[in-house]
Amino acid sequence: MRRSADVGARALNAGGLVVHPTDTLLALAARALDPAAVHRLVAAKGRPSSRPLSVAVSSVEELERWATLEPAARRFVRAELPGPFTVLLRPSAEARRTLAAEVAAGSTIGLRVPDHPLARELARRVGPTVATSANRSGSAPARTLAEAKRAFGGLVSAYLAEPPSPSGVPSALVDLTGPSPRQVPRS
């Protein structure tokens, strides 16, 4: 994994896009602290800029830096993460100040702690990453690196393979802004 993490971290730190596995799907990633890289990710996907993007972090402790957690939310993230969930929380003041506007400008921020060692290691090395499914907007998520390469080609700086393979099931979206966790249908 060290070689993949080295290659991915170099690419992300240089402002590039990286495709890497998570516990759920292959992700297209950019540094969430680099607005230009996040804009490139949005353009590569052909995604409307009005659609929110989620952020992957390396640990539950790091997640707490980027969001405000009420007691019920804290219990959920400590019990369920890392895991196949994207949690909606209120962004912290630091998130609003430092993360790209596409992820922290609204009233909520989507955060993940993926249960995949490479995904967490990349976030540990470069900070939070925008991590969205590796596909063009409106297309099915790429199941293999070959499918991701067909979709993005040279727009991506590094395509990383590292076991275990993704499950192929998108993360569940859970709203933690209320008094109790509530699963939200994906649009």
pLDDT tens over the chain, length 187 residues: 799 999 999 999 999 999 999 999 999 999 999 999 999 999 999 988 778 899 999 999 999 999 999 999 999 999 999 999 999 999 999 999 999 988 887 899 999 999 999 999 999 999 999 999 999 999 999 999 999 999 999 999 999 999 999 999 999 999 999 999 999 998 6
Q: Where are the alpha helices (DSSP H) in the chain?
A: 2-13, 35-45, 60-66, 71-80, 93-98, 101-104, 117-126, 145-152
Structure tokens at 81: 């993460």
| pLDDT score of 31 | 98
Residue 184 bridge partners (DSSP): 173
With a CB cutoff of 8 Å and minimum separation 6, the contacts of 170 are: 24, 25, 133, 141, 186
With a CB cutoff of 8 Å and minimum separation 6, the contacts of 33 are: 98, 99, 100, 127, 128
| pLDDT score of 1 | 76
Say how many C-beta atoms besides its own lie within 10 A of residue 1's C-beta: 11
| pLDDT score of 145 | 96
Report the C-alpha gap between 167 and 13 in whole angstroms: 28
With a CB cutoff of 8 Å and minimum separation 6, the contacts of 114 are: 22, 23, 24, 27, 56, 82, 120, 131
Domain that holds residue 15: 2-184
CATH of the domain at 84: 3.90.870.10
How many distinct structural domains can be found in the chain?
Answer: 1
- Output the pTM of the full model: 0.94
| pLDDT score of 51 | 81
* DSSP SS3 for 145: helix
Q: What is the DSSP letter of 2?
A: H
Is the distance from CB of 31 to CB of 15 less than 8 angstroms? yes
Report the C-alpha gap between 1 and 163 in whole angstroms: 9
| pLDDT score of 163 | 93
